Structure 1
Amino acid sequence: MQTDPNPDQNAPAASLASYFPGVALAALIAFFSLIIKALKIPLLANLSPLMWAVMLGMVVRNTIGRPEIARRGLALCLRTPLRTGIVLLGLQVTLAEILGVGTFGLLTLVVALAATFWVTRVIGRRLGVAPGLATLIAAGTSVCGASAIVAANTVVGEDDEAVAYSLATVTLFGTVAMFLYPTIGALLPLDDAAYGLWIGGSVHEVAQVVAAGFAHGQASGQAATVAKLARVLMLAPLVLAMGFAARDPARRSRAPMPWFVFGFLGMALLAGTGLVSAEWRADANFLTQALLALALAAVGLETDLGKLVAQGWRPLALGACATLFIGAGTLAAALLWPR
C-alpha cells in the first residue's frame, strides 16, 4: 500500500473542511430568518431576523437534532461573525444623531441604562437567578436586546441555554411593550419628542422600537429611532466596563477583554465623518444583520430546550421586572421633560 509522503500538506484543507457543515447549517437558517423579515408578513416581520434565527435554530436542534459533524463550524459562528457584526453595527450610529436627543434625553438614557442594569442584577440575586443569566437579561433590557446579550456574553461566558433563555425573555417583553406602549401613549399628554424618548429609551429591539414609535406618527417614530440609536452606542462602554470588572487580578482566570468594541466605536466615528454614504450604511446594516443572524442561528442549534425549561420561571419574572422598571423610569422622565 502506498503512503502519502507529505501527510501534513493535506491537514490545513481537512481542518478548513471540518468547519463547513456547521457554518453551512447556520447560514441556511440565517438565510431563512432574513427572508421572513424581507417578506414583511404582518406580525411575523415585527420580530428581528436575529430572533427568527435563534428560534429556527432551536426548532431544528430539538426536532431533527444537531449533527455532531456541525459542532466545530457552529463554534466558529459564535466567534468571528459575531464580533464582526457588532463592529459593523457601529456604522448605524453617528454623533450628530446622538446629539439630536438633547442633553436631557441623553441624561435620561444614561441613567435609565445604568439603573436598569444594576437593579436587574440586584433583583436577580433576590430571585435566585444565576448571576450570569441575570447579567445577560440586564444587558438585553437596558441596551438593545439580542445584540447586547450576545456582546455581553463574550465577557460573561454563559452556556447556550442561558443565552437562549435571556433572548427569549427580552424578546417576549419587548414584544409586549411594542403592542402595549402605543395604546398607553395615546392616553397620556406626550408630544412626539417625549413619546419617542420613552419608546426609544425603553423598548428592547430596534425593530420593536420602529414599530411602536411610528405607530404614534412620523415625527415620534423618528425621535424614537434616534433615542434607540443612542442606546445602541452605549453598548460599547457597557461591555468594556463589564470586561474590566471581570478582569480581577486576584482571580486565577480572567474573562477576555472585549476589544472588538473599539472597532464598534471606530465605525461610529467613521460614520460621523460623512465619508460613509447612506447607501453604504444600508448595505453595512444588511451585512450586520446577516452576520449576527449567523451567530444566533448557531446559538439556537446548540440550545437544548430541556435545559432551557429547567431554568424555571424566575428568569422570566426577572425580565418582567426589568422591563417594568425601565419602562416606568423613562416614561416618568418623558412626562417631566422640562421644555
Structure 2
Amino acid sequence: MGLLLPVALGIAAYIVSRFYPALDALFLALIFGIFFGGVVGKGNVEKIAEKSLSITLPVGIVLYGANVKFPNFYEISLPILILTFISALFMGLSVFVIAKRLGVGGKLPVLLACGTAICGASAIAIVSSILKPSKEEFSTAVIVITIVGLTGAAVYPALHGFLTKDDFATVCGATLHQTGLVKIASKDFGSDVLQKALTVKSIRIALIAVVALLVSLIYAEHRFYVPGYIVGFLIMSFMSSTYLGGWSDWIEPVSTIAFSTTLASIGLCVSRQDIQRARLSPLVASYIGWFFTSATIIAILRWLI
C-alpha cells in the first residue's frame, strides 16, 4: 500500500468537498482515515502514516500560505475591521478559558481556541505542527470544531430577516469557522452578501500567520525557535497577497490535498474507541464560546453600529 492509501484518502476527501462545500476536506480526510484504519488495522498502517506525515505536513503548511490573502482594507470599514478582530480574540479566549474550567486538559484547549477563532481545521493543523498534541487531541479538536461550525451554517440563515444584508454578511464572516461554511450560510442571499462575508472571513484567515508565529514563540520545544516550515508559510502568505496573483489559485488544490493527506494519515493512527472516550466537555466549551461571541457580535451590529 505504501503511501498510496493516505494520498488516495486525501484526494477523495478533496473531491467530495468540491461537491459538498459544507464538508471540509480536512475533516473528511480525518474521518476517512479513522474508518479505513479500523478496517485495515491500526498496526498495519501506523508506520506508513508516520512516514506520510513527515512529508505532507510541512509541505501542506508551506503551500497553505497561498490560501492566506490579506484583505483589501479599503473594502472594509474601520468599525467592522475592529469588530472582526474582537470577535476572533473573544471566541478564542472564551473557548480556551471555558475548556480549562470544564477540566479539558493537555493541548486540546489551545487547539479548540485556534480552530474556533481563525479558520477551523486548517488552523488546528498548522498549530498542531508546533504544539505536537496527541493524535486523539488533534482528531477531537477537528471533529468538535466541524460540528459547531455546521450548526452555525444551519442556523444563521434564519437571522437574515433580523439583520441588514451587510450585518448578516459580517456575522457570517466574523463567527463561522470555515470558509466553506461561510459560503453555505450566505450564498442564497445574493452575491454582494457572499462577497462581503468572504472579505470579512479573510481578515480572520490572515490572522493565522500571526497566530502561527505567536504559538511558535510560546509553545515551541526550544523557546523562540520558529520551525522552518512556519517561516515558509509566513513567506508564502506574504507572496500570495503581493506577487503570486493567479498562481495561488493553482497552488490551493495542491495545498488542500497535502493537508488532507496529513489528516488522513493521522486518522489512520486513531481508533474510533479513542474518539468515543473523549468527554463532552470540549464540545460544550466550543459551543458556549461560539454562541456567546456570536450573540455579542449580533447585538453590537444591531444596536450600536
What TM-score results when the alignment is normalised by the length of structure 1?
0.83
CA contact (8 A) 1:239 1:258 kept: no
Pair 96,311 (structure 1): closer, same or farther in 2 beyond 3 Å: closer
The answer on 1:266 being equivalent to 2:235 is yes
The offset of 1:131, in angstroms, is: 3.9
- Structure 2, unpaired ranges of 5+: none
Counterpart of 1:101?
Answer: 76
Counterpart of 2:108?
Answer: 133
Counterpart of 2:55?
Answer: 80
Counterpart of 1:226?
Answer: 199
Counterpart of 2:120?
Answer: 145
* CA distance, structure 1, for counterparts of residue 225 and residue 274 of structure 2: 26
* CA distance, structure 1, for counterparts of residue 71 and residue 123 of structure 2: 22
**Which of 122, 125, 140 matches 1:165?**
140
CA contact (8 A) 2:216 2:225 kept: yes
What is the number of residues matched between the two proteins?
305
Counterpart of 1:325?
Answer: 292
Compare 110-119 and 127-136 and name the one that shifted more. Answer: 110-119
* CA distance, structure 2, for counterparts of residue 99 and residue 66 of structure 1: 51
1:1-339 equivalences under 5 Å are 21=2, 23-38=3-18, 40=19, 44-68=20-44, 70-184=45-159, 186-191=160-165, 193-247=166-220, 257-273=226-242, 275-278=243-246, 280-336=247-303, 338=305
* CA distance, structure 1, for counterparts of residue 262 and residue 224 of structure 2: 20
CA contact (8 A) 1:154 1:258 kept: no
CA contact (8 A) 1:33 1:53 kept: yes
Q: Which amino acid aligns with 1:267?
A: M
CA contact (8 A) 1:202 1:323 kept: yes
Compare 146-155 and 84-93 and name the one that shifted more. Answer: 84-93
The offset of 1:137, in angstroms, is: 0.8
Identity of aligned residues (%): 22
Three-state SS of the structure 1 residue aligned to 2:189 is coil
The offset of 1:109, in angstroms, is: 1.9
* CA distance, structure 1, for counterparts of residue 300 and residue 232 of structure 2: 32
The offset of 1:256, in angstroms, is: 6.0
Q: Which amino acid aligns with 1:243?
A: S
Deviation per residue, 1:41-90 (Å, 9 max, x gap) = xxx4420211111111111112332353x333322333432232232222
CA contact (8 A) 2:71 2:202 kept: no
Three-state SS of the structure 2 residue aligned to 1:46 is coil
Compare 199-208 and 151-160 and name the one that shifted more. Answer: 151-160
Compare 157-166 and 235-244 and name the one that shifted more. Answer: 235-244
Q: State the structure with more CA Rg.
A: 1
Three-state SS of the structure 2 residue aligned to 1:234 is helix
Deviation per residue, 1:152-203 (Å, 9 max, x gap) = 112222111111111110000100101110112x231322x32221101111
CA contact (8 A) 1:91 1:271 kept: yes
* CA distance, structure 1, for counterparts of residue 81 and residue 230 of structure 2: 20
* CA distance, structure 2, for counterparts of residue 333 and residue 286 of structure 1: 37
Moved over 4 A (4+): 253-256
* CA distance, structure 1, for counterparts of residue 74 and residue 106 of structure 2: 34
Pair 97,88 (structure 1): closer, same or farther in 2 beyond 3 Å: farther
CA contact (8 A) 2:33 2:265 kept: yes
Q: Which amino acid aligns with 1:283?
A: W
Pair 98,230 (structure 1): closer, same or farther in 2 beyond 3 Å: farther
Q: Which amino acid aligns with 2:113?
A: A
